[in-house]
Chains A and B, each alone.
Chain A
Amino acid sequence: MAVFLQSLISGILIGGVYALIGIGLTLIFGVMRVINFAHGDILMVGMYLTYILFTFAGIDPFVSVLISFPLMFIFGGFLQKVFINRVLNAVAQNQILLTIGLGLIMSNTVMLIFTSDYKIITTSYSSSTFQLGGGVSVSWPLLISFLITSAITAVLYWFLLKTDTGQAIRATAQDREAAQLMGINVKRMSIIAFGLGSALAGTAGALISPTYYIFPQVGSTFTLKAFVITVLGGMGSVVGATLGGVLIGITESMSAAYISSGWKDVVVFSLFLLVLLLKPSGLMGKSRT
């Protein structure tokens, strides 16, 4: 029982961070129909930002979210304005090539600056826990990052549902031309969406930093994960990405506990295929015509 609870809890907590990564990707796809293959690399940039702030300015990784979120937003907005906007009407292959290229530039630039050595952030609470009883323990840094994730997701829902800009973003996602006819500045919405997506990925990077290690190629693992989460939840669905993230987190954790950690990816991808077979548009996705 302890193993089950332990795996469930760490699965949910890790899943929360996965969800954040997935939401960023799905937001970008929803608004622009561009699949951002640089998503993991943007997350990696967020990790290095956290690392720099922590080592050189002594700013705690969780506090640094306050700095990295706006910085990553600007970074994302810049990428959108300068690069992505130009290919919005191009064929999908060109968009994919562009984002892959951007990702490569990011990871190699970081490699030139920091070398490909693994960096590890050690905070006073890196391995601190509290006991839930019954031999189940919860990692503080994971719990804090889960809480921050939940808060950000809640604010994001509110933003998308209640504010004018949020509604404009959703309108753009629903029908770009119609939104434009209604007087919505879709180019600006695209910039905001990409900025938000990048900020979320960067924040996820910051939140993982205290419990993981940092290296320039770390992005590819997370691009793949974000992809699975987004498709599983339904491309473009924020709720779906949240659900998909937590689901993947739990699946990984459970399969590592009950099968073997070497097999957890097999289980995750089998589940992924199964969902696609039964519900091709993803858990929360609406089929497009």
Chain B
Amino acid sequence: MRKHLLALGATLAMSPLMAQKIGVINSMSGPEAPIGESITNGIKLAEEDLAKKGIRVQLVWEDDTGKPQISMSAMEKLATRDNVVGVVGPYTSACSNAVSKLAQKYRVPLLIPAAAKEEITRQGFKYVFRMNAPADRYASSLIDASLTLGKPKTIAFIYENTDFGTSTSKTAKDYVATKGIQVVADEPYPKGSADYRSTLAKIKSKNPDLVFMVSYVADAILLMRQSREVGLQPQAFLGGGAGFTTAEFAREHAISENVISCTQWTDDVNWPGARDFGKRYKAKFGKDATYHAACAYESMMIMAESAAKSGSDRDKTQALLKAGKWNGIMGPVQFADYDGFTNQNNHPMLVQQIQAGGYETIFPKEFATKKAVYPFPRWK
């Protein structure tokens, strides 16, 4: 009897009418929850659009609370018990890095929407794909933008001592070395310190032209508040993604105005459907869409379409992801092997600045919506 049921299940799974079972690992609660929410919303919009295209998906949601070990057990469950065709997620670099090894082990296609650590797609894992541009792009796009805006000679780094913070600043340090900018301060900090004033005062005494920060939401707000307190006054504050590109951060007008950050996506670039996605997102969730939402949306669209085309077969889905080319709200997407990366979408980064409480694209020129404010105005 059991055998028959299995056979029946197998035939059903082969039919295109059958819903595609896809896993989602996301930080729905925990410190990264505000960003996790954007990812969840993006995936929900993708679910709607897939239904319009006649692709039925059955999503299995897993909350990793931002912890790698929980992320890994979620992946084990999805791969062995839920038998999903593919997985979209997780969010943070630490979780994605941990889960990528399992994806390869269980041969489950994993599409990571928005984790920055470079090594994730540098391990040669055939089953691990990444939508967003990795950390080296965060750094190089921000530095390139500053170099076209002014003539910075010195730079200070302050970043949380996690996978994301360390890898982003390391690539940034390598990149500024090639541009002849001198690193005058290099300050990793343990997440959740109450007081960054003395570190910031030390940075201030070095009088750097650029201050490069890498943090998640809460620390991003704290760092900028205390920078204002100690009167740190560089030509530009550069925020390496994450905490600096959230609506929560932009809402803190007094300290977030004119901070430059980089992003994977904005709703005003000329990629097909980007503007429309922004509008629909705002209408449905009452918030501006972030790059995390767009990355998650496009990842889910691509994963579900490939899964449907493959007839719910993991290996075929992997082959389809590898061979495919898409052009949607994230611009042209192709999972290529280059510079030591495997299955990495070579995504162009956009540099933006908070002006009048909103994010405006200022670099590269072809996507710019506003002129940059440079140097950073004096603190009031």
Contact = CB atoms under 8 A, between A and B. Distances in A.
Interface of A: 2-3, 6-7, 10-11, 14, 115-118, 120, 122, 126-127, 129, 131, 135, 137, 139, 208, 211-213, 215, 218, 221, 252-254, 256-258, 260-262, 264-265
Contacts of A218: 192
27 contacts: A2-B205, A3-B198, A3-B201, A6-B197, A6-B230, A7-B197, A7-B198, A7-B202, A14-B194, A14-B195, A115-B29, A116-B29, A117-B30, A117-B34, A118-B31, A120-B218, A126-B225, A137-B229, A137-B231, A139-B229, A211-B194, A211-B225, A213-B218, A256-B196, A256-B202, A257-B199, A260-B188
A252 B193 CA distance: 10
The binding surface of chain A is classed by DSSP as helix
B161 interface: yes
A279 B173 CA distance: 45
A212 B222 contact: yes
B320 interface: no
Nearest to A218: B192
Which 8 pairs across A and B sit closest by C-beta, in order of nearness? A7-B198, A6-B201, A127-B225, A257-B198, A261-B189, A10-B197, A118-B218, A213-B218
Nearest to B230: A137
Contact of A257 (B29, B188, B201): B201
B187 A261 contact: yes
Interface string B197-231: 11101101100000000000110011011101111
Contacts of A265: 190
Contacts of A221: 192
A261 B190 contact: yes
Interface centre among B189, B190, B229, by most A CB within 10 Å? B229
Nearest to A212: B194
A204 B214 CA distance: 29
Contacts of A264: 193
B65 interface: yes
Nearest to A249: B195
A253 B195 contact: yes
A117 B197 contact: no
Contacts, number: 112
A25 B149 CA distance: 54
B255 interface: yes
B49 interface: no
Q: Which of A129, A208, A254 has the most CB of B within 10 A?
A: A129
B255 A3 contact: no
Contacts of A253: 195, 197-198
A141 to B, nearest CB: 9
Given A2-B204, A117-B31, 4 more contacts: A2-B205, A14-B194, A127-B229, A212-B222
A254 B198 contact: yes
Given A118-B218, A261-B193, A127 B202 contact: no
A260 B218 contact: no
B33 interface: yes
A14 B197 CA distance: 11
B174 interface: no
Contacts of B202: 3, 7, 256-258
A262 B190 contact: yes
Interface string B228-272: 111100000000000000001000101100000000000000000
Contacts of B65: 116
Contacts of A6: 197-198, 201, 230
Contact of A10 (B33, B198, B224): B198
Interface in B297-318: none
Which of A122, A221, A258 has the most B CB atoms < 10 Å from its CB? A122
Contacts of A129: 228-231
B195 to A, nearest CB: 5
Contact of A127 (B161, B187, B190, B226): B226
Given A127-B255, A213-B218, A262-B189, A116 B30 contact: yes
A213 B33 contact: no
A8 B155 CA distance: 25
A262 B248 CA distance: 26
Contact of B201 (A7, A14, A126, A208): A7
A2 B205 CA distance: 8
Contacts of A126: 225, 254
A2 B30 CA distance: 38
User: Which among B188, B196, B198, B221 has the greatest number of chain A C-beta atoms within 10 A?
Assistant: B198
A14 to B, nearest CB: 5
A127 B254 contact: yes
B27 to A, nearest CB: 10
Given A221-B192, A253-B198, A262-B188, A213 B222 contact: yes
A209 B193 CA distance: 13
Contacts of B229: 127, 129, 137, 139
Nearest to B228: A127
A10 B196 CA distance: 10
B33 A11 contact: no
Contacts of A117: 29-31, 33-34
Contacts of B34: 117-118
Contacts of B204: 2-3, 135
Contacts of A252: 195
Nearest to A254: B198
B30, B201, B204, B252 pick with most chain A CB within 10 angstroms: B201
Contacts of B230: 6, 129, 137
Contacts of A120: 218, 221-222, 248
Nearest to A250: B198
Contacts of B161: 262
A241 B195 CA distance: 20
